[in-house]
Amino acid sequence: MVTEIALGLQACVQLGRLRDEGRAAPEAVSMLKRNSCAKALAVARAARDLLGANGVCDEFQVVRHMLNLEAVSTYEGTHDIHALILGRAITGIAAFAPDTAGTPRGQRGDTAGTAGDTKGTAGDKAPAPQG
């Protein structure tokens, strides 16, 4: 456990230095985050196992850290997201759509709510009955 923690810390220090110098690739950040999150969870699980029944007691705090890491892994999907980023860097093929969250409507490539979309507007009303 101590070895994995030390290796992770050294990798973070080295990547921080590279970023300060403007020489760090964005993919290196994803690689380190993916690896660090996986190792943190593995270390927390090993610590829980090492303590036996005490590993799940509040007194030793191990289970709190492990559950926090499990929760983050579950709702963020950190490992999977960084795997997609790394896959794109290695293959050049994106496995996910580009972000359009901040793009104004009509510039996204969709026509919802623009002049090209008549669904649900006056353009698709039935003609008034002739009487």
Domain spans in the chain, listed from the N-terminal domain onward: 2-91
pLDDT tens sequence across 26-66: 999 999 988 998 999 999 999 999 999 999 988 889 999 99
Query: Which pLDDT belongs to residue 118?
Result: 44
Torsion angle of alpha carbons 40, 92, 27, 18, nearest 10°? 150
Query: Which pLDDT belongs to residue 97?
Result: 77
Provide the CATH number for the domain formed by 2-91 in this structure: 1.20.140.10
Query: Which pLDDT belongs to residue 73?
Result: 76
Point out the residues that are catalytic: 76
Query: Which pLDDT belongs to residue 112?
Result: 47
Reported as a pLDDT band with limits 50, 70 and 90, residue 119 is very low
Query: Which pLDDT belongs to residue 120?
Result: 43
Residue 122 pLDDT greater than 50, yes or no: no
**Tokens in use for 22?**
């403007």
Contacts of 5 (CB under 8 A, 6+ apart): 39, 43
Closest CA to 41 of 79, 12, 86, 11: 79
Coil, strand or helix at 15: helix
pLDDT tens sequence across 13-30: 999 999 999 999 999 999
Query: Which pLDDT belongs to residue 129?
Result: 56
pLDDT tens sequence across 67-114: 999 887 777 667 888 889 899 999 999 887 776 666 665 555 554 444
Place of tokens 């290796």: 7
Coil, strand or helix at 23: coil
Coil, strand or helix at 7: helix
